[in-house]
A and B are shown apart, each in its own frame.
Chain A
Amino acid sequence: GQNIDQPTEMTATEGAIVQINCTYQTSGFNGLFWYQQHAGEAPTFLSYNVLDGLEEKGRFSSFLSRSKGYSYLLLKELQMKDSASYLCAAMDSNYQLIWGAGTKLIIKP
């Protein structure tokens, strides 16, 4: 079956760094997406990885290891506005997104 695993909740301190991990099992693989979803709002796109390695975009970076079925989202210099759920989604061989349940990130002052 197809499956995405990510932690349910994480807590971090303002100004710190946090890494949110995601492991996936899909029928075929066409890339890994990270989305941010604030409470009561729609998911918004953060990053896409299809090749192994790290992609950096400002304070956010995303890493992929295809051989390990593993990705992480790294958030630096955390701000209070980063409090949100972070959704990992893997695209399968049919180009369908398989979504994780999301990791709720709580930022404390």
Chain B
Amino acid sequence: DTAVSQTPKYLVTQMGNDKSIKCEQNLGHDTMYWYKQDSKKFLKIMFSYNNKELIINETVPNRFSPKSPDKAHLNLHINSLELGDSAVYFCASSHEISERGETQYFGPGTRLLVL
């Protein structure tokens, strides 16, 4: 019954590797997001995506790329991992943006440690 799920929960890897984090939501939402939460606890939006538009935060390196096989999934691919990529990555979803702000529901997070 998990609404937003992410795998893996923990990811430890070496610098330079390529890795993926998967996200699935079973809420029937139209929009999905990826956030990075660093050690200072700031939640920074990386991407938001619905079936019409991908919005990319311009500060996100192009080593990061979202891939959406269908409306319920938004996976995050990271190439050439760097030490500074160590953080917690949260996936979230919401109904399509409307006049009333839609609540975002978060996954449990993926704790990435790059050695």
Please give the residue numbers on chain A whose beta carbons come within 8 Å of chain B beta carbons, in ascending order: 30-31, 33, 41-45, 48, 50, 85, 87, 89, 91, 94-97, 99, 101-102
Contacts and interface: CB of A to CB of B under 8 A. Distances in A.
B62 to A, nearest CB: 20
11 contacts: A41-B108, A42-B108, A42-B109, A43-B90, A44-B106, A45-B104, A50-B101, A96-B48, A97-B45, A99-B42, A101-B40
Given A31-B100, A50-B100, A97-B45, A43 B40 contact: no
B41 interface: yes
A97 to B, nearest CB: 7
Interface residues of B, number: 20
Contacts of B99: 30
Given A87-B43, A102-B41, A95 B108 contact: no
Nearest to A89: B43
B12 interface: no
Contact of A97 (B100, B104, B107, B109): B104
Given A42-B90, A42-B109, A99 B103 contact: no
B106 A43 contact: yes
B115 interface: no
Contacts of A33: 101, 103
B64 interface: no
Given A97-B45, A99-B44, A101-B40, A42 B97 contact: no
